[in-house]
Structure 1
């Protein structure tokens, strides 16, 4: 049954594909269709060549259209496209990738859960945190805390713990999963007060991005992340670090937990593990969380996780080759070099009358603009200059190009932002 409001405007026509994360009346008729890519550039069906200043959605770390990754997928598909990893069954590529990730993990002696992406990983991590406490006999520990302005994907749990309120709006309740709450992104004392108000005996886990991406490239205040870890340790709360964006080199370290000296209980990852060449994500699980599910006992429980494509053999083969490229081309140290250049370039831009502040951590940059200069309008104009960027919360322009970016390309990207701001100021 449908209900028609006679006063509603007629729908706008467009392609059959329903665009993701889009206010459709605002984008229909002016969408850019990408048909191919090479290195740090994408090409549209209407003939534009655009520098990919966002690495897609923060993921194209080794650049686009790498033949090595296509070859890895091709060879794997000819041998075994995939086989599930349920029960007794595994596939060799999933086992190999699990061992590789465990060896490089900042969590000692982890188990590795593989799935199809970052939203999957968050769902699994939040469920595992609650399952952990239920099995331990702490049945009241069900609340998942997350930070204001946080983004953790858009599955049911990711939607529920979103710190961007608009991602939770419109579903009839404040949170799809009811036992969630937000804490301050800046004030560690306020976080501690929230924990005490809710009661630590009700809180299963706290989820945090080390650097908030979609929230506006928000870098942590000195001591903030360490404070979150302390609060979790003192109150028997699991700390889940969301490294979906930051994992695999984006901060100049393989994991941002290494940059900030953290030891979380679970780490979620995705994007950079394959550089977006195949959909794959997962969770690194610390021993005190995984061991109760591995004991040889009649009372040992199951943790019921997994989907058809968990441990997808071709995705795992691509991930393994992608990790090789990061090592062979020394791309993680290269991010450290690009970070220093980006800091210098944005420092020069910071004095512009339209700029409130600039933020950098690794090859993650944000340019916060004054209220009367729209970040969305600026990013639209940058397309006309040959650059892809994105508007983020806080009226922020995102900068996060591939790791293969040259010094000149990074300078040109920042200069283009300055040129657009100058042109707008001159109007």
Structure 2
């Protein structure tokens, strides 16, 4: 019999992300292929993808049109960088398309490789903006309790999930950060007053918190954040890495909640995860200073080797067409009704503490005596993938192509799994 130490030493070379390695070794599920809303493991199991991967597989898996877009682009130009005088045509085309659908009027578009990159760039740009304005004390970045903004240095530093911030020898990798209340706008106002608006560069907020437990905004909260930012000269950064490109039923959640942010970060849904791509939409109040003619015009030193990657941009362009051709945003609004009705039924169960919905984002918070991790493990055995989140919450965020019956089957499987837990942790 293999003991724990031998199992650790004989495990795969790949170091899993966000994993307590001794707990997952020997239990890892290897996904070998996927089609539509379904995953197929190396041992032949078929699994309904109730999380769309990490919130991203919006058009489903293995879409032939996106595979063809990548294939054709690689035959022409795999990529070329966009530093200095150089551009590639697909990055230029994507920039124009994104500017056209942006909730921010007349934006500039910064492209990079993903959500964590986008947050890093947006926070740096916010600080760079105030330095260029001569308001050099405005360096601090606010973010919400329970927020998740990726795991680069800035994302780690502004995380509202303490376990992502711990263990690095300092309270924050980037010191000028602070957290605000997730739902209480009066408490946010008090925090700003305590810190001093003259020290605050920006406030970063997910319109709907994802990893923090699928938390839609309290009524009036986002409007209150926007008001406080305007009154105190604080840039508002909307983190739409999860919600962007249809997840809430509108192209951007800032449209659903009628926000007017200064910067919007995006990633996952721009390609449905078919290629790593992210970026930032930048309002004129920020970008104009960097575009004016003159020897004293500042440079914003952003950029990465794969920023504006031509193949990723080609995939994004075709993907955005598919959202329209397959009428997937209206479909999200239809599925929101099904999800809302199903979660109301689950709320009747004694093991369910609360449920939350925003578009095709759902969260089921369980009673303290039932483990969300145990429930999600049980669901895998029944052919469904979900994920445990903060707050003992089960994540529901399937692809936009999900049928009504598939969504009901997932919720039915959750009900059965809950009934089988019998109050066991």
Taking structure 2 as the reference length, the TM-score comes to 0.98
State the partner residue of 1:202: 199
Runs of 4+ in 1 over 4 A off after TM superposition: none
> In structure 1, how many angstroms separate the alpha carbons of the residues matched to 2:125 and 2:107?
14
Q: Could you list the per-position Cα deviations for residues 28-50 of structure 1 after superposition, in whole angstroms to 9, with x for gaps in the alignment?
A: 00000000000000000011000
Is 1:323 paired with 2:320?
Answer: yes
Partner of 1:258: helix, strand, or coil? helix
Is 1:294 paired with 2:269?
Answer: no
254 and 373 in structure 1: CA distance in 2 versus 1, 3 angstrom threshold: same
Deviation at 1:426, TM superposition (A): 8.3
State the partner residue of 1:409: 406
Which of 185, 188, 213 is the matching residue for 1:188?
185
Which of 69, 77, 86 is the matching residue for 2:83?
86
State the partner residue of 1:4: none
Q: Could you list the per-position Cα deviations for residues 196-223 of structure 1 after superposition, in whole angstroms to 9, with x for gaps in the alignment?
A: 0000000000000000000000110000
> In structure 1, how many angstroms separate the alpha carbons of the residues matched to 2:201 and 2:262?
12
> In structure 2, how many angstroms separate the alpha carbons of the residues matched to 1:235 and 1:376?
42
Which of 142, 145, 148 is the matching residue for 2:145?
148
Deviation at 1:425, TM superposition (A): 2.5
Is 1:339 paired with 2:333?
Answer: no
Q: How does 1:4-403 map to 2 (within 5 A)?
A: 12-13=8-9, 14-403=11-400
State the partner residue of 1:421: 418
Q: Could you list the per-position Cα deviations for residues 1-30 of structure 1 after superposition, in whole angstroms to 9, with x for gaps in the alignment?
A: xxxxxxxx7882210000000000110000
Q: Contact 2:115/2:278 (CA < 8 Å) preserved in 1?
A: yes
> In structure 2, how many angstroms separate the alpha carbons of the residues matched to 1:426 and 1:113?
49
11 and 29 in structure 1: CA distance in 2 versus 1, 3 angstrom threshold: closer
Partner of 2:348: helix, strand, or coil? coil
Structure 1 residues without counterparts, runs of 5 or longer? 1-8
> In structure 1, how many angstroms separate the alpha carbons of the residues matched to 2:161 and 2:214?
13
> In structure 1, how many angstroms separate the alpha carbons of the residues matched to 2:339 and 2:183?
24
Q: What's the RMSD between the two structures over aligned residues?
A: 1.1
Partner of 1:291: helix, strand, or coil? helix
355 and 97 in structure 1: CA distance in 2 versus 1, 3 angstrom threshold: same
> In structure 2, how many angstroms separate the alpha carbons of the residues matched to 1:159 and 1:362?
27
Deviation at 1:422, TM superposition (A): 1.1
Partner of 1:61: helix, strand, or coil? coil
> In structure 1, how many angstroms separate the alpha carbons of the residues matched to 2:414 and 2:167?
35
Structure 2 residues without counterparts, runs of 5 or longer? none
Taking structure 1 as the reference length, the TM-score comes to 0.97
Q: Contact 2:379/2:386 (CA < 8 Å) preserved in 1?
A: yes
Q: Contact 2:36/2:60 (CA < 8 Å) preserved in 1?
A: yes
> In structure 1, how many angstroms separate the alpha carbons of the residues matched to 2:258 and 2:328?
21
